[in-house]
Amino acid sequence: MSLPFDIPKWVNKEEMGLDARFDPQGRWIAGTMNEVAVPPPVGSSQREIVLRDDTLRSGGNTPGVFASLDKKLRIAAALEEMGVKEAEVGYAGLRDDQHFVQTLRKRNTPMVLGMHARSWLPDWKAEIDAVADCGAHLVNFVGMQGYALTRALHPHLAGEAFLVRMEECIAHAKKRGLIASFGTDHPHVDLMTETVRRATAARLDRWVVYDTRGWFLPQTMAMWVNNAREASRGKVEITVHAHDDFGLATANTFEGIRAGAMGCDVCVNRTGHRCGNAAFEQVAVGLEYFFGYRTGIDFTKIAGLSKLVSELYEIPIPENAPIVGHNMFSYGGLHIPGVLSGDWFLWENIRAESVGSKRHIIYGPTALQRGPGSPLDAKVGSLGKSASEAQMDRIVNGLRELIDAKKFATDAEIETVISRVMG
């Protein structure tokens, strides 16, 4: 596939290939040093990963968020449009969530719809029935094992009683024609191995490795995924669900996928309990950027989705948020000349347009520097002009006045200054 931009004549592609290479579709430039440190898995370019959006369920747990049916439907439509194949959309015990699923099914949503159910309730069958009756496709059970973790949700259901209930839930879900998904937080490897074996024997469809507390290291996530794969002998799908309490949710998700998980849970703008879940935008782009995995996601709609969720959930996007933050493609100081010349890849890893964004140039204090190749010289040259020393002094003074007044100047504002000085 040809690149949708022109590579400058000064670029020696053979020499550049020693330390960086362009994406064949022109979406980004990536460093080859990552391939040395972490060789791409065999067949990674053919491997498809299911990004399971959890913005409408886990993301709704963000403190202060209230999403009406209309808001949820708008987010769901955006997810469908960009190619999301599966979404977790609510809780079996909430009638509003049941109505949401019914509405999505009436709209013929192409997404596989999942709902959370509580396996520890005395009337656990009613929750499974509610999932099936409203038209969802998948029921997702979460359980806790170990002393402290069990007490968090179901102190009355531990040990063998927990395993028996798990088997009963799987059996009833299958009886109702649902995809059965189960996962737990585990205190040690032996207990997880036995739990996955029992779940596999009960005909479980999917096992989720949960880091519900966000306390895993990436190596830990990889260990649990490998353990679950071995215990299930490849008979069960493995996915991962990571929280961001230590800022590791994206890294943990990457490691889980690299270890063999077929999918992952993600939330737009890192919404969710406490510090949120693995960020949809980071994981979606990163899986392909770093490893070559295919997700089927239309990356050009990522910025729009992020803004939509920010607006509807009333949570501002941090200026420095990866992929979708305003500063992601903002440039100032000595970065300006390269951007003005059109050589986006000198400072961007990802082309702004490839994720539906655009770049911004900001003239701050460091743009006041003078000399060949300085930001202001480059800007004047980009306008087809050549300034004398006296004119450049006036341009610098004009920029300094703007910086003193408002901390920075936009590209349009500095053009006004140049025009005023040079005509």
**Domain holding 97: CATH number?**
3.20.20.70
Among 286, 313, 340, where does a domain finish? 313
Domain identity same for 418 and 361: yes
Confidence (pLDDT) at 172: 98
Is the residue at 28 inside a domain?
no
Confidence (pLDDT) at 2: 42
Domain identity same for 276 and 350: no
Domain identity same for 283 and 383: no
Is the residue at 7 inside a domain?
no
Domain identity same for 374 and 337: yes
Is the residue at 18 inside a domain?
no
Are 156 and 206 in contact by the 8 Å Cβ rule? The answer is no
Is the residue at 4 inside a domain?
no
Is the residue at 1 inside a domain?
no
Which domain, by its residues, includes 115? Answer: 47-313
Is the residue at 17 inside a domain?
no
Domain identity same for 119 and 193: yes
Domain identity same for 113 and 213: yes
Domain identity same for 289 and 334: no
Domain identity same for 305 and 335: no
What 3-state DSSP class applies to 241?
strand
User: Which residues in 238-250 are b (16+ Cβ under 10 Å) and which e?
Assistant: bbbbbbbbeebbb
Domain identity same for 199 and 346: no
Are 144 and 152 in contact by the 8 Å Cβ rule? The answer is yes
Domain tally, the chain: 2
Per-residue pLDDT of the chain (423 residues; tens, 9 = 90+): 344 566 777 788 778 877 898 998 889 999 999 988 988 777 777 789 999 999 999 999 999 999 999 999 999 999 999 999 999 999 999 999 999 999 999 999 999 999 999 999 999 999 999 999 999 999 999 888 876 777 777 878 888 999 999 999 999 999 999 999 999 887 788 889 999 999 999 999 999 999 999 999 999 999 999 999 999 999 999 999 999 999 999 999 999 999 999 999 999 999 999 999 999 999 999 999 999 999 999 999 999 999 999 999 999 999 999 999 999 999 888 888 888 888 888 889 999 999 999 998 888 898 888 877 788 888 898 898 888 889 988 999 999 999 899 888 898 999 999 999 987
How far, CA to CA in Å, does 319 sit from each of 22, 166, 279, 356, 399?
Answer: 27, 44, 15, 16, 23
Residue 217 and residue 100: Cα distance in Å, rounded?
36
Cα 24 to the center of its chain, rounded Å: 22
Domain identity same for 302 and 334: no
Among 313, 337, 354, where does a domain finish? 313
Confidence (pLDDT) at 4: 55
**Paired tokens of 145:** 């094992």
Closest CA to 239 of 282, 277, 209: 209
Reported residue count of the chain is 423
Are 201 and 216 in contact by the 8 Å Cβ rule? The answer is no
Confidence (pLDDT) at 147: 63
What 3-state DSSP class applies to 239?
strand
Domain identity same for 149 and 204: yes
Among 283, 313, 343, where does a domain finish? 313
Confidence (pLDDT) at 6: 65
Is the residue at 56 inside a domain?
yes
Domain identity same for 95 and 174: yes
The beta-strand segments (E) located in 228-312 are 237-242, 263-266
Is the residue at 125 inside a domain?
yes
Neighbours of 281 (CB within 10 A): 28
**Paired tokens of 9:** 């004549």
